[in-house]
Structure 1
Amino acid sequence: MNNKTIKQKKTGLVYIVPTPIGNLSDITHRALSILNEVDLIAAENIIHTSQLLKHFNIKKYLTSLNQHNELKKTIYLINKIETGKNIALVSNAGTPIINDPGFNLIKACQNKHIRIIPLPGACSIITALIGSGLPANKFCYEGFLPTKKNDRCNLLKLIKKEHRTIIFFETSHRIILSIKDIINELGSDRNIVITRELTKYWESIYRTNASNMLQLLQSNPDYCKGEMIILIEGYKEVLLETIQKKHINTFLLLNQTLSLKQSTILTSKIHGIKKKIIYQYAINQLKYDKKNK
């Protein structure tokens, strides 16, 4: 019996290529190299991407992949890839897939074991987060706030006690309505940040509490223009109990001979007060003592 060597058909690759969110200088050398080398570019908007390619003198065939044709176009692109064509997926700005078309294509590629190569690059929500001054070690991204008031308020109620920094996209014509709902559902003192037109000439970052933010936006209509991102500070639990002098005296007495942890636990048991109340006092006192040495 003769052995026959079966040559497996080589499939193409899919590159996920971030593009600038405003400033064209933010595109990476690798992104330009890939856009130059692929056989086909799948773009959210052909006209928009054509302008980008023209700026960098890149001449490639473009095909549209948007929310209206994504399912049908995915089949077309998979067929191209299976014949050995390399594809680049781009959105209008920033990193594809995040709130942009392309998920169905990537999922289909995974199911068919087609290699997917994601490139790092511009991403508006990460750019907004690192410039916000809010905690960036833990955060959640929720896409666009719902357009209808009831849906928007219901979502805000659900995230009211979310401890992580919360990130939303919002449109300029709805920003004031959304800030009013944030005040009603999350409180007027909740710290928020609004970024506007990131990396562009009119780039702005506003940081204040929700009440002041509303006044700021209402006082100057120009502050409501452009592409906007809302970042909301995570929920901070309000401690209803307060430390009293007798608690402090007990803690200080115990802490003369016991460790901070032991003193905290015993003071908590003696007075029936939460350990974190005592512990927070101790930490703050240590910081004060250190500062005034």
Structure 2
Amino acid sequence: MSKPPVRSPQHPIGETQTSLAPALYVVATPIGNLRDITLRALDVLSTADRILAEDTRQTGKLLDAYDISARLTAYHDHNAAARIPQVLGWLTEGQSVALVSDAGTPLVSDPGFKLVRAAVAAGIDVIPLPGASAPLAALVKSGLPSGRFLFAGFLPPKPAARTKALRELADIRATLILFETGPRIKACLTDIAATLGERDLVLTRELTKRYEEARHGTASELLQSVTDDPPRGEIVLLIGPPDGNAEWDEARVTTALRGAIPEHGVKRASAAIAEQSGWAKRDVYALALTLK
């Protein structure tokens, strides 16, 4: 069965073609609501010689919703090393290959960058198709400053490594955007309170879906919120930029200690907050003992 004519991804609506030029097409897909797919993405997905998918079953649901038949090939962290030379071979032979992730824009917290880097090094054209992105959707919804922002992905799961990562981010004068999971959000917020202090935070989840929500507050306020009502699913957590005039007074040190002691204990929490605040370790430890 012949493929239907489609609009060229390089030309405006009205110009059609029956095949795509050989290239690697990086295609954004919906993060929840299937109607967030773009017309151009549908054109490419219905016409590409092959589609590389993180999870072929997940991508299959999207293709079924739009009655698209396509040759799906798995491409993920576990097979990237072996798959990349094969994909480069297809591209060199003149095939068109579309790369998608399970949701959102490829290369954002997925192995797509390895393939794109290899394609660029091989002189193969890489064509991005913009669309849905969870970090940008969350930033728009949050109401936090958007003039400068930094996407930092997932923080390390272990407390010591997570605290170290947060310290590296502490002085960046921009809104920070993180991915997190429901089971780890309490520990994450605890370390944020201890390391970054009481900044403006927004926790978003279920973006573009029926139960989309955003919770606003400081780290300690959100910690109480997730304790009372644990969020499920994938979370985008946004942290407002540091207040250049904020000082570590006793109230701020006390708030940070209250958030950190249950997770790290008095000694470790005191040492971490002393380093961040500039207070003497003995003074922070003495204050921590009164709280305990």
Range of TM-score over shorter length: 0.7 to 0.9
> Which consecutive unaligned segments of at least 5 residues does structure 1 have?
1-10, 241-293
Q: 2:241 aligns with which of 230, 234, 248?
A: 234
Q: Where does 1:134-283 land on structure 2 (aligned, <5 Å)? A: 134-187=144-197, 189-221=198-230, 224-238=231-245
Offset of residue 143 of structure 1: 0.7
Where does residue 90 of structure 2 map in the other structure?
A: 80
TM-score, scaled relative to structure 1: 0.76
The structural deviation recorded for 1:162 is: 1.6
Q: How far did 1:87 drift?
A: 0.3
Deviation track 1:14-69 (CA, whole Å, cap 9, x = no partner) reads 10000000000000000000001110000001111111111110000110100000
Task: Tell me the secondary structure at the aligned position of residue 88 of structure 1.
Answer: strand
Alpha-carbon distance in 1 for matches of 2:244, 2:39: 46
Structure-2 residue corresponding to 1:96: 106
Shift of 1:157: 1.5
CA contact (8 A) 1:21 1:124 kept: yes
- Which amino acid in 2 is paired with 1:179? L
- Which letter does structure 2 place at the counterpart of 1:86? S
CA contact (8 A) 1:196 1:226 kept: yes
Opposite residue 15 of structure 1, the aligned amino acid is: Y
1:54: which partner in 2? 64
Instruction: State the shift of 1:239 in Å.
Output: 6.4
Amino acid at match of 1:87: V
The reply to whether residue 16 of structure 1 matches residue 23 of structure 2 is: no
Which residue number corresponds to residue 26 of structure 1?
A: 36
Contact 1:91 1:100 (C-alpha < 8 Å) held by counterparts: yes
TM-score (norm 2): 0.76
Based on CA coordinates, which of the two structures has the bigger radius of gyration?
1
What secondary structure is seen at the aligned counterpart in 2 of 1:131?
helix
| 1:171-196 Cα deviation digits (max 9, x unpaired) | 11000110011111111x21100001
CA distance in structure 2 between the aligned counterparts of 1:201 and 1:227, rounded to whole angstroms: 14
1:68 maps to which of 78, 92, 95 = 78
Task: Give structure 2 stretches of 5+ with no counterpart.
Answer: 1-20, 248-292
Partner Cα distance (2:221, 2:121) in 1:
49
Identity %: 41
Q: Judging changes above 3 Å, is the alpha-carbon distance between structure 1 residues 203 and 239 closer, same or farther for their aligned structure 2 residues?
A: closer
Secondary structure class of the residue paired with 1:173: helix
Aligned residue for 2:187, secondary structure, equals helix
Aligned counterparts of 2:106 and 2:173: Cα–Cα separation in 1: 27
Aligned residue identity for 1:185: T
* More divergent stretch after superposition (212-221 vs 21-30): 212-221
Contact conserved, 1:176 with 1:217, CA < 8 A, in 2?
A: yes
Q: Is the 8 A contact 1:91 1:101 kept in 2?
A: no
Tell me the distance in 2 between the aligned counterparts of 1:210 and 1:102. Answer: 32
- Structure 1: 4+ residue segments shifted above 3 A: none
